A and B are shown apart, each in its own frame.
Chain A
Amino acid sequence: MEIAQNIVLTILTAATPLLIAAIGELVVERSGVLNLGVEGMMVIGAVCGFAAAVLTGSPWIGVIAAILAGALFSLPFAFLTLTLATNQVATGLSLTLLGVGLSGLLGEAFVGSPGPRLAAIAVPGLVDIPLIGRLLFGQDPIFYLSILLTAGVVWFLFATRAGLTLRAIGDSHGSAHSLGIKVIRTRYLAVLFGGACAGLAGGHLSLVYTPQWVENMTAGRGWIALALVVFASWRPLRVMAGAYLFGAVTIGQLHAQAIGLGIPSQFLSALPYLATVLVLVLISSNRRLTMMNTPASLGRAFVPDR
């Protein structure tokens, strides 16, 4: 049974960066902005978090640096799409291209250097409970943060006035503007929040999941997070379920590679990407469901009338 607990633990760890990045992007998209730069902000978070942790010796400073770097890096996207009303698809793409390039440059000095790992929490006594002890009381701090974050976003979106305002902007920015709501300002804050989450998700990769810096280490996880938001039809709890499902696929294929089923490793490595395509197909084919849940202003530039 110890094995089962270990497997569940690795699945939760693999799923955490997906969950955090997708929750952040969910808030951005609920405000009506499509930021395809998640991969770029994530990889910038990973490299900055790792660099800060190595230079200061403190993984916690690394975590903070990752969050700040992700948020900061989302600003050029926000400026272009919100202030200059550029095409969100193209601008998000360019954020990802720039992030991948910039992280390669910034991280060059840190390739191969050993990094500090953010240690797991262990609540004395409780962590030794059989079966569930380590699952509940012995994981890395960012895992607990991801749960709090999801709960916080559920509360914010569906139980606060500010959350209602944000959703209203996402569904009809014109009407929201007529009501005197600050559309652009709210969207700036949403994009910054999404950037901070993507940065934290990247930091989890380079400080917890595999404490090192490898170029392109996000390996498409930012894109998978984007797909998760669609898969979850813009609901936070479904994002959570989707992230753990993907964690299971990732860990499952790793175990299959270790056992050596005679299937080439490349085919198994392709599974998470193929699974992403599959779930997109499954969820999108129900056109009515997608139409009902997609924020109606998603991806459309907003220029206020004066």
Chain B
Amino acid sequence: MSKIIVIDPGPLSTVQDLGRFCFQRYGIPQAGAMDEFALEIANLLVGNERNEGAIEITSSGFKATFEGNANIAITGGDLGATLNDEEIESWQSFLVSSGNTIKFNRIKKGFRAYLSISGGISVEKVLKSKSTCLAGKFGGFGGRKLRSNDVLSCGGVFNKVKPTKIDVAHFQDYHRKRIRVILGPQKEYFSDGEIDEFFKASYILTINSDRMGYRLAGPELFKESSTELLSEGVATGSIQISGDGLPIVMMVDHQTTGGYPKIANVISIDLPTLAQFKAGDELSFEPVSLDLAKKLYIERETKIKDLEYDLLDSKSKIYRVLVDGKNFDVEIKEKE
């Protein structure tokens, strides 16, 4: 069994998986990795299930040593990682042994990195997830962000996966500054002119942005209707226009309900890109259709599935086929 010993946690490092589902009805945020794509790839690269727990590292400063042999992978933002003081590139896996030290030295690109380890981080699931719920102080590692001297045990299995590097551009466009959205559901709260303005505007991510939400600075939008919206369930990626006319994008730790009108929602495939924005970064929004959003999402999913099977190095191939608008996985095995 291998271990990760935290030397310096940096400003915010937490254990996350893909999130906590089915409990938003109790006011419990979904949580999970801000960049779910990067978490999935980090897990696949070390032979884990996609939804395993890994460490989400925010900004630079994180430093840890390993105990025992393990496969690790780093994905997500490029935070200037070094392994035993040698620079290592993101989106790949490595073999580590006792005493090896990993460090994230400075922000080069993006804002959140994922550190996965073969077997996953061994923390107990709370409400069916390993994710840290910061608002409720439960889940993850003791319901809190990591501190110096925390020792994280990792799953007992040492998976035999060969160290691999992926070409991230094949899967996800992290350079995109124009975030794609689906208009609505409360577009009638704004005039056509205000909606135009929203799509023409350049916004800047403010320092008051975190895992709960991104507060943006830019042109203020004035609501057509003065009627308050009755609070309703929101989703990750929902863009609320708050009382001061500025957008707040709901991120994974968002409150489950909200009462500001939602002008638009970020499409699922662009959420990982958005997760890598940091304070001061510029962004704008572009409306797209539901069909395009779905098509892009399924395309990326197919690529992830392909990678998953390649990494498994099995003698079977699984193909995804579309029949009557529904997806089926067909497994084809080589004859013995």
Q: Do A and B come from one complex?
A: no
